[in-house]
Amino acid sequence: MTLPRTPDVHAATIARYMGAQVELASAPNGAVVNRVALERLHASEPHTPEVRKIVDGVWSVIGHSLVNVHVIEGERGLIVYDTGFSVKEAETILRDIRKISAKPVTAIIYSHWHYIWGAGVIAEGNPDVEIVAHPNLPKNLASPDLPIPELDILQNVRAMTQFNNFMPAEGPDAAIAPLMDFKPERAMLPPTRLVQNDEEIVIDGVRMKFFTRYGSDADDCITLWLPDSKVVLTNLLWHAIPNVYPLRGAAFRDPRSWIMGLREIRDLNPAYVLSTHTFPIMGEEASRKTVTGYMDALAFIYDQTVRGALKGICLQDLKHTLALPKALRDIPQNAEVYGELSAFPQAIFQHALGWFDGDAANINTLPTTVEAQKMAELAGGREKLMAAAEKALDAKEYAWAAQLANYLYRLDPYDAAVRRVKATALRKMAQAATGSIARAFLLSQARALEGSVKIPRVLFMPAARLMLTSPAVLVNHFRVRVDPQKAEGVDQVLAVRFTDVDKTYALHVRNGVAEFVAEPARHYHGPDDTIALPRLAWAKFYTGEYDVDALLNDSTAVIEGSRERVHAFLACFDHFDPRTNFSIPPLR
């Protein structure tokens, strides 16, 4: 198929999903994947555990997990940069650290908050270990980088999808990137020293300079400079094109900050660049070329997105405008093996201008089900629309087949034939994809359509884990579940007193909204009723393990006031029943 060309829109960016020749290969676990992606992934991301000596007194422990760990020898012991994602990962990393030296770990430096969870293992019980972190790290532990924290239960599912939790370990649908365990055993140690930008200190006899001004996928990144060995340790250089926007959703990752951080590294003229995710970069020339090329890819993404918007390219087409110049494509770390370029421009545009792309026809579009019905009518009926989808599938126009099947899916998500066409289209696109994130979403949803896996709509942490969360959060976040139709005419305050921590909060339902009341005693409308209970009982209600009746029948819950009124009040809120919590309906 020859795609029509509008100014600056590159057909090649979607060609692999519309019938272009794609050579497939099999990964060692049997995964069917775009051969180019497989080759580039192995060229930029360590997969085999090993210890590499960088220079006297500095080593990299790579290939164990999502993150590389770096070791610096001090006068008394070892200084470790990052600790892994879990206790299990840290245990394997520590075994390799012990191949380097038997010295105790005297200090741990957190590159950012994502890989701090193995610190207790790496420290081996040393109570005097120094933990160095960015000033923003404590904030991020209390409230991770979510613009709307109430959506964390939705982002949890999308993150699980991105990190391969709904894909098999082996076979054609297997993952090509590491699986991230979302219920790991963790052993984080709190920071003992928060460093400032440009701060120069000596830790265990090693001179260090810290850069904290700029970030990448987090705002608490520490880039570490060892001037005596000309080594940089950083989270700003990855194994793949900078993931400006992850499909799971996250706070905006400003390319300008990322670019400035990389420029800072380049201008140090390092002899070695050690990254959290890619192979060590050895030598001044290689370091300069790699860091500059990575920086330029980010600048290209940002500048060309802005250029496209200024030229009037619509929001939907912006994602098809980017194609890196060959010189940037040739940098191994610029491979589209994690995120894909098509995911980034819309995020940059919407950060600046919001969802409206300037086309007035897009202000009041039809609801998706109405649009689907109109499309079916336009095609001459559902049967003809289905025939068009199957024809597109036969022509290997998988993106178009998926779009056509999606209209029919919206009209009847249980139709087996529709699910088959959509699943086939998604799987074919997954096999052609270069990025592991897009591949994971495409394959996971294909498998859910076929009934091989169930993807929940929202995912709560286990009730026991929620004991680590402030009970105020568990009451406050409940307010976004109020059903305005059920709450119509209600003007009522329910106090929730947690008996195990002696804390009381309240919800005030009025005018179809629920206001969180942090200090009920000071609120203008006193509580009409109170429910007194331990945090665990409320957590079970919060996660859907309990419905209203189960909560009120819990022996630890005591009602002060009218039981009937409390029941009616709580029934105004959505209940996430585990039996119906799915993003793709199960097969009938």
- Which pLDDT score is estimated for 365? 94
Taking the C-alpha atoms of residue 398 and residue 15, their distance in angstroms, rounded to an integer, is 10
pLDDT value at 399 more than 80: yes
Question: What pLDDT, in 10s, does the model give residues 170-208?
Answer: 999 999 987 888 778 889 999 999 999 999 999 999 999
| Residue 144: per-residue pLDDT | 60
Q: What is the mean pLDDT of the chain?
A: 94
DSSP string, 462-516: PTTGGGGS-HHHHHHGGGGGB-TTTTTT-EEEEEEEETTTTEEEEEEEETTEEEE
Q: Which long-range contacts (CB under 8 A, 24 or more apart) does 325-328 make?
A: 325/300, 327/293, 328/293, 328/296, 328/297, 328/300
pLDDT of residue 143: 64
What pLDDT is attached to residue 4? 52
Instruction: Average the pLDDT over 405-415 and give the result.
Output: 97
What amino acid is encoded at 99 in this protein? K
Instruction: Say yes or no to pLDDT of 260 above 80.
Output: yes
How far is residue 316's CA from residue 350's CA, in Å, rounded to a whole number?
Answer: 11
Q: How do residues 21-68 score in pLDDT, each as one tens digit?
A: 999 999 999 999 999 999 999 999 998 999 999 999 999 999 987 899
Strands (E), 187-334: 193-194, 199-203, 206-211, 223-226, 231-234, 272-275, 281-282
Q: In the CATH scheme, what architecture does the domain 45-295 have? A: 4-Layer Sandwich (3.60)
Give the whole-number percent of the chain exceeding pLDDT 70.
Answer: 97
What's the pLDDT score for residue 9?
52
- The pLDDT confidence band at residue 139, using thresholds 50, 70 and 90, is confident
Give pLDDT, residue 8: 54
Supply φ then ψ for residue 186, to 5 degrees.
Answer: -125, 155
Helix H or strand E segment including 447: helix 436-450
Q: What is the pLDDT of residue 145?
A: 60
Q: Where are the beta strands (DSSP E) in 42-121?
A: 50-55, 58-62, 69-73, 78-81, 105-109
What's the rounded Cα separation, in Å, for the pair 478 and 460? 13
Query: pLDDT-based confidence at 11, cuts 50/70/90?
Result: low
What's the Cα-to-Cα distance from 173 to each of 18, 53, 101, 169, 417, rounded to whole Å?
20, 36, 41, 8, 21
Relative to beta strand 231-234, strand 223-226 is antiparallel
The Cα–Cα gap between 393 and 403 comes to 11
Each residue's pLDDT tens digit, 196-205: 999 999 999 9
Q: Is the pLDDT of residue 223 over 70?
A: yes
Q: What is the pLDDT of residue 184?
A: 82
Look up residue 116 and give its DSSP letter.
Answer: B
Looking at CATH, the fold of the domain delimited by 465-579 is given as: Nonspecific Lipid-transfer Protein; Chain A (3.30.1050)
**Tokens of residue 547, six digits:** 């419905």
Q: How far apart are CA 49 and CA 53, in angstroms?
A: 13
Going from N- to C-terminal start, the domains of the chain cover: 45-295, 465-579
567 contact partners, CB below 8 Å, separation of at least 6 = 548, 549, 552
- Poorest-pLDDT segment among 143-147, 254-258, 337-341, 537-541: 143-147
**CA 210 to CA 201: how far, in whole Å?**
8
Between 77 and 144, whose confidence is greater?
A: 77
Task: Please check whether residue 175 is in contact with residue 469, taking contact to mean a CB–CB distance below 8 angstroms.
Answer: no
